Structure 1
Amino acid sequence: MSNSKIPRSNENDYSADIIAERQAFIEEQTPARLHHTRQFSFDPEAMSGNIENLFGVAQVPIGLAGPLLIDGEHAQGEFYVPMATVEGTMLASYNRGMKVIRESGGVKTTVCGEAMQRAPCFVFRDARDARDFNLWLDENFTEIKAVAESTTSVGKLNEIEHYIAHNMVFTRFDYTTGDAAGQNMTSKATFVACEWIRERFPQMRHYLLSGNFDTEKRTSSVNSLKGRGRRVTAEITIPRDVLQAHLRITPEAMHYGWGITTVASFLTHSSNNAAHPANGLAALYLATGQDIANIGESNQCSVYTRVTREGDYFFSITLPALILATYGGGTNLPTQRECLEIMDCHGQGKALKLAEIAAGLVVAGELSLGAATRVDKETRQNEWVNAHERLGRNR
């Protein structure tokens, strides 16, 4: 294979000619013969700002699950949810969970917080200067806030967390970002604020714009406690007869099983004690143009269950770091926009609605898989294995 450079155009790198040139380059330089990847139905100019070196489109199957009945503050009613995946049985499982939710009167969703961070680390000569800077940050928050917000029409700086370690101050600049996910927005705002701080606090030796305390695109205890993106809780009480009729399990058995898996989550230092929140979220993210790497934060959660005094089953999940958008980024690409429009979640004013739908979707998957992993005492069958044999790749 030669060391030829990938073809690029400084004038227009999304034209039909340069895309065709890259396709030819791939066939010349690799064993591949392109057919499916080179076919797409929308103007490649629409992908400017979303990808470089474009040569085609990955076609991931998209299925529809629903209706999902949501009783939220921003999402109210029934929603059909597009999910992009190559995992057989998954949509069938989520549909089963959604049926249980409908039969139970819907899942109640609540947005409990919003915060997108950039986390500079400020370095000083010694801990005493670091301590003094800590105090200075609080005293000058109003001015820093004004400087940061001068860079954005929608971003709002609500808090600067700060933690001293040795001669360093690790901070988290916490913003609300409207209907955008906001990582780029917060980077620009925080950089301008840091330069303003540098000029006014000469004891600072230097700073890193991201000192890794934002823990972007991975799980962390700080995100679990303080939140990143949107913090959403989804909760539901499932009548005993509904649980037994549709999931073939009693509230006591379901609660008992979750207790065991919670111990396993503790022993393995897992980021959550849920069954598979990443499954539904990844499928939703792929379909709707989210940054799929944000699953790193978004899948962390905590599950709480109990059997009520009436003998029904209560299930609650808190997702402290749901990062998603309905405006900007990949959400404006044609196919992703169509998927958002299925849920009436494209554009401004819809991000909290989408967050509530995402949380409800996770509940559907947790209920279905949570029941499916048990082994029936009489038949010695397992629904999880049987479903993959019948519908999934095992067939």
Structure 2
Amino acid sequence: MTVKIPRDKENDYTREAAEARRTFAAEKTNAKLNHVGQFSFEPTVLQGNIENFIGVAQIPIGLAGPLLVNGEYAKGEFFVPLATTEGTLVASYNRGMKLLRESGGVTTTVVDDAMQRAPVFVFPSAREARDFSVWIKENFDEIKGRAEETTSVGKLRDVQQFPASRFLYLRFNFTTGDAAGQNMVGKATKAACDWIQFAYPKKIERYQLEGSFATDKKTSFVNTLHTRGKRVIAEATIPADKLKEIMHVSVEKVFQARLASQFGGYLAGVNNNGAHSANGITAIFIACGQDVANVAESSAAAVYAEITKSGDYYFSITIPSL
């Protein structure tokens, strides 16, 4: 009989339950878990966040900054926590933040906001799928109402349609406030789809709640074009003298390097024609307790740079799925 991981049916979120599992793991693997078992919070706060809790992984956090941000909501100087074991990462970001600060800061703009769930509906033929498409458009207000009954924060913005063969993929786009909102929109979309199945007067062969058109935690063309999460643009103009003083390089040489690396990225087929923005995003996600797997789509970026008429360096990065 397979030995099972210990669980407490009455209350599995206690220090005792975690210790029982650490003891079990140590016996089965000969691993020493002394540091894993040292944490400062009560396990009761973890319900809904993790199962079979045994302890914590300790990751070093460095502090970079201040970063001067000229945003519509975030304004001023900010110190940025970065969790990493990659040497020089914090130092590199700290140096870049110094350059931006000396150059007047970075201007940030959120240009789109949408979190998705993308169900797929299957019909006997493409014509039935097309009829369903028309019905969805005609009944959007009711669909929106059913979805929003499940959440006080999420708002259904629109439903995009992508027909293929006898399938119709529906991309439900929600705004979710300050939450990432994947679970929120999943629940809301399920409520809407349950009503659709009940109310649609014709035959639906079957449907599934996610048809992989939301491309959750994957890089995709559809997210790059249509946004998943927040679509953010950050831009700054770096004076030539500041670039030379702090980075010890001329505007012309930086721009030449940008063109060469951009060309190489095109040849390689990358999803980001800039540098490693995923490094900083990952380090912030870990430091702040975000779902780090979302770096898969958050790593996509489009960088644009030019030398201004005054000889300074304009640089921008568009992150379509943050």
Tell me how far apart the structure 1 counterparts of residues 15 and 162 of structure 2 sit (CA, whole Å).
51
TM-score (norm 1): 0.80
Q: Which residue of 2 aligns with 1:214?
A: 214
Equivalence map 1:149-298=2 (5 Å): 149-201=148-200, 202-298=202-298
Tell me how far apart the structure 2 counterparts of residues 139 and 261 of structure 1 sit (CA, whole Å).
48
Is 1:78 paired with 2:77?
A: yes
Tell me how far apart the structure 1 counterparts of residues 264 and 46 of structure 2 sit (CA, whole Å).
43
Tell me how far apart the structure 1 counterparts of residues 196 and 252 of structure 2 sit (CA, whole Å).
57
Q: Which residue of 2 aligns with 1:104?
A: 103
Q: Which residue of 1 aligns with 2:4?
A: 5
User: Structure 2: which 5+ runs fail to align?
Assistant: none
Q: Which residue of 2 aligns with 1:348?
A: none
Equivalence map 1:1-395=2 (5 Å): 3-201=2-200, 202-322=202-322
SS in 1 for 2:156: strand
Q: Which amino acid aligns with 2:11?
A: N
Tell me how far apart the structure 1 counterparts of residues 89 and 143 of structure 2 sit (CA, whole Å).
47
Deviation for aligned residue 1:162: 0.3
- Tell me the percent identity: 53
Question: 4+ residue stretches of structure 1 with deviation over 6 A?
Answer: none
SS in 2 for 1:161: strand
Residues 40-89 of structure 1 show CA distances to partners (whole Å, capped at 9, x for unaligned) of: 11111111211111111100001100000000001100000111001010
Highest relative contact order (Cα 8 Å, sep 6+), 1 or 2? 1
Tell me how far apart the structure 2 counterparts of residues 128 and 176 of structure 1 sit (CA, whole Å).
32
Tell me how far apart the structure 2 counterparts of residues 210 and 96 of structure 1 sit (CA, whole Å).
43
User: Structure 1: which 5+ runs fail to align?
Assistant: 323-395
Residues 269-293 of structure 1 show CA distances to partners (whole Å, capped at 9, x for unaligned) of: 1111011011000000001010000
Q: Which amino acid aligns with 2:72?
A: E
Tell me how far apart the structure 2 counterparts of residues 124 and 259 of structure 1 sit (CA, whole Å).
48
Deviation for aligned residue 1:123: 0.6
253-262 or 292-301: bigger deviation? 253-262
Residues 161-188 of structure 1 show CA distances to partners (whole Å, capped at 9, x for unaligned) of: 0011010011110000111110000001
TM-score (norm 2): 0.98
User: Aligned-pair RMSD on alpha carbons?
Assistant: 0.9
Deviation for aligned residue 1:203: 2.2
Tell me how far apart the structure 1 counterparts of residues 310 and 95 of structure 2 sit (CA, whole Å).
24
Q: Which amino acid aligns with 2:55?
A: G
Deviation for aligned residue 1:37: 0.7
Q: Which amino acid aligns with 1:273?
A: N
Q: Which amino acid aligns with 1:80?
A: F
Give the total of aligned pairs.
321
Native 8 Å contact 2:14 2:42 kept in 1 = no
SS in 2 for 1:49: coil
Q: Which amino acid aligns with 1:167?
A: R
Deviation for aligned residue 1:137: 1.1
Q: Which amino acid aligns with 2:54?
A: F
SS in 2 for 1:271: coil
Tell me how far apart the structure 2 counterparts of residues 223 and 69 of structure 1 sit (CA, whole Å).
29
Deviation for aligned residue 1:3: 3.4
